[in-house]
Structure 1
Amino acid sequence: MRMRFSRRSIIDPLELQELISTGVEVRLIDASWGSQPVYPYKHIHNAVTFDIDAVADVNNPLPHMLPDENTFADSVGIMGINNQDTIVVYDQHGIHLAASRVWWMFRFFGHKEVYVLNGGLPYWEHLGLPVNDLPVVFDKSEYKALLRSDLVADGKEVLQALDNEKIDVIDVRSADRFLGMAPEPRVGMRSGHMPNSKNQFFVDLMDQSTLGLKSEEELEQILSPYKNTSRLIASCGSGVTACVFALGMYDIYEKDVAVYDGSWSEWGQESSDFPVAL
C-alpha cells in the first residue's frame, strides 16, 4: 500500500521519525558521496549504504554511469531490499550528494515507493533526532529491475533535443560555469554550455537553512516555466545534481524528468564533437 506523506518525492524528518517509532517498516539508504563517509559511526535507524561509484557501469570511463538491470538488481538484493519496500534515501550533505541521484536511479529501475529525506542527515541531527553506530545486516533478497528508459537521455538524444521546441534541456550547473566564466572542476573539459539549453542552478531549489528542497510555494515560483514542456532533460557535471531538478519537478508537478547520464563529463570533453556555446 502506498504511504501518504506531506510531499510527493520527499519526506520530512519528523514524518520519518514517526514511522520508525511506531514500527512501520521503512528501508533507509545512506547515499553519501564526495567526502569521507560518517556512516560507520553515525547513521539513521537501519540504513544501509549505497555507493554510486560502485553501483555503476564500472567499465565506462565516464563517472558513475548507470549500471545494467542485473547489476542494479544484484546490488540492491545484497542490501536486502525488495520491490515492495518503501525506501527513504538520505546523505550527509543534505539531498544533493547523492540522495537525489539514488532516488532517481531507483525510479529508473522501476521502484515505486522511494523518497528523499528532506535535509538529509544534517537536518535530522539539527532536529535532535537519533543516530546510531550499530551494524546493519539484512538477508539477501530477490530484486527485479524494470527499466524506465524515458527517465534517461544520452548525448545523441540531447543533441537532437536542442533544436526541438517541445523539449527543454536544463543545465543545473552554476551560472558562471554555464557561461564559461568559471573553469570546470574536471581536467580536459571545455567551458560553456550546450547551445539552446537553459540554466537553472540546482542550489536555487534548496533551502540553505535545512539543505533540503524549498517549500512547495517557493519551488512553484522557480519551476513553473517548465511545467508544460513536453519533455525535460536535466544535465549537470556528471549526472548527480541534475537529479535535484528531477526531484523538485516530481515533487511539485509529479512530472518526470530525464537525466542526461553523461552530462558535461561527456559533452564537455576537449575531444568531443558536441557543440559548445559561451
Structure 2
Amino acid sequence: MTDYRLVVSPQWLSEHLDDPQIVIVDCRFSLADTELGPLQYQTSHIQGSHYLDLNDDLSSPVGKHGGRHPLPNPVELAKKLAAIGINSQETLVVAYDDSRFAFASRLWWLLRYLGHDKVALLDGGWKSWLSAGYPVTDALAMPKQGKFLPEVRSHFVVDIDTVKDRKDLPEVVLVDSRESDRYRGEREPIDPIAGHIPSAVNYPWQDVTDEVSRVLPVTEQKRRWSGLENAQEIMVYCGSGVTACVNLLSLEMAGIHTGKLYAGSWSDWCSYS
C-alpha cells in the first residue's frame, strides 16, 4: 500500500484525467541523450500532460561551481508552472517519468521547495500507464494560465559550506544517494573525480522502487531508514541534486521530515578539488 499523499496509482489518475484541479507533468529525460525526453513527449504522452525539461526548466545554467544541475531561478520556474495552469496551494500536480522517479521526483521536490505541497508521483510511471492501457496522445496540451507565487523554503536546501560545517556533527547524517560502486569510487561515469564526501553513508536511490518503478510500501521505506529517525538533520546528495530527490521522497514516506538537499551534490563538491 502506497502513501497516496505522495504517490497515486495509474487507475486513480485515469479516473481524474478531466479534473480541472489536476495538472499532469511529463518529466521523462535522458542524461545520455538530452533530446530524447522532449522527443518522447512529442511522440506520445498521457492525455492532457505538459512537459518540463530537466535541463531547460528544472535547472539553471551550469557554472564553474554549483553542480551539473543547479536549482532553477524560483521566479522563472514559477512563471513556467503558472503557464501550464498550476495555481499555488490549489492545483494537484501529478508528475511522471520512465526512470524510477529519477526526474519526476526533482519536480516533486522543487514544488515543495517553492511552497507547493499538492504534488504526487505516478506509481510505476509511464510504463505502468501504458501497460494498463490508459489513453495516450501526441496532441500537445492546451495552455491554461494559472497563478503561482513561490514561497521559497530556504531550509530545504544546503550548500557546500553547510555540508562542510555540519556533516561530522553527531546529530547530522550525510547521505550519498548514488549507486554503491560510485559511492565506493570504483566507477565514475560522469564527474571528473570518483569517491564520496567523507563521513557520508550510502543509500542508493534505486532502492526506493522495484524494477518496474513501483514505489515500495511505506513499511519498507521506514525499514530503509531505521536508525536515522532521531537525526536532527539528514543532508542528502547524489551526482547533481536530481536522484537525491528520490531519497527525500522515501524519507517523507517513512515519516522523517528532516531531509535536506545538497543541491550541488558530488559534482559541486569535486569542482573545488
Fold equivalence (TM over 0.5):
yes
| Aligned counterpart for 2:135 among listed residues 95, 120, 130 | 130
Alignment-derived partner of residue 167 in structure 2: 162
CA deviations on 1:163-194 (whole Å, 9 max, x unpaired) are 11111110011111111111x2225x221111
Mapped to 1, the partners of 2:200 and 2:155 lie a distance apart of: 19
Mapped to 2, the partners of 1:77 and 1:59 lie a distance apart of: 24
Mapped to 1, the partners of 2:219 and 2:104 lie a distance apart of: 22
AA matched with 1:103 = W
Mapped to 2, the partners of 1:145 and 1:260 lie a distance apart of: 20
Does the 8 A contact of 2:175 with 2:235 survive in 1? yes
CA deviations on 1:77-127 (whole Å, 9 max, x unpaired) are 22222212110000132311x001110011101112011111110111122
Does the 8 A contact of 2:229 with 2:256 survive in 1? no
1:186 correspondence with 2:190: yes
- Give % identity: 28
| 1:151-230 paired onto structure 2 within 5 Å | 151-182=156-187, 184-187=188-191, 189-208=192-211, 210-230=212-232
Alignment-derived partner of residue 242 in structure 2: 240
AA matched with 1:52 = L
Does the 8 A contact of 2:3 with 2:253 survive in 1? no
Mapped to 2, the partners of 1:131 and 1:240 lie a distance apart of: 27
1:12 correspondence with 2:9: yes
Mapped to 2, the partners of 1:27 and 1:106 lie a distance apart of: 13
- How far did residue 215 of structure 1 move? 1.4
Alignment-derived partner of residue 33 in structure 1: 29
- How far did residue 266 of structure 1 move? 0.8
Compared CA separation, residues 105 and 242, structure 1 to 2 (3 A): same
Give secondary structure in 2 for the equivalent of 1:58: coil
> After TM superposition, what 4+ stretches of structure 1 lie above 4 angstroms from structure 2?
none
AA matched with 1:51 = D
Mapped to 2, the partners of 1:231 and 1:158 lie a distance apart of: 11
AA matched with 2:104 = A
Give secondary structure in 1 for the equivalent of 2:136: coil
Give secondary structure in 2 for the equivalent of 1:246: helix
Compared CA separation, residues 95 and 77, structure 1 to 2 (3 A): same
Mapped to 2, the partners of 1:129 and 1:223 lie a distance apart of: 35
1:63 correspondence with 2:68: yes
- How far did residue 221 of structure 1 move? 1.6
AA matched with 2:163 = V
Give secondary structure in 2 for the equivalent of 1:220: helix
Does the 8 A contact of 1:94 with 1:122 survive in 2? no
Mapped to 1, the partners of 2:3 and 2:238 lie a distance apart of: 28
- Structure 2, gaps ≥5 residues long: none
| 1:243-254 paired onto structure 2 within 5 Å | 243-253=245-255
For this pair of structures, how many residues does the alignment match?
262
- How far did residue 24 of structure 1 move? 6.0
AA matched with 1:10 = V
Give secondary structure in 1 for the equivalent of 2:234: strand
- How far did residue 6 of structure 1 move? 4.6
Alignment-derived partner of residue 144 in structure 1: 149
Alignment-derived partner of residue 258 in structure 1: 260
AA matched with 1:94 = R
Alignment-derived partner of residue 49 in structure 2: 47
CA deviations on 1:7-63 (whole Å, 9 max, x unpaired) are 331111112122226x46311001112141211121112111111211232263532
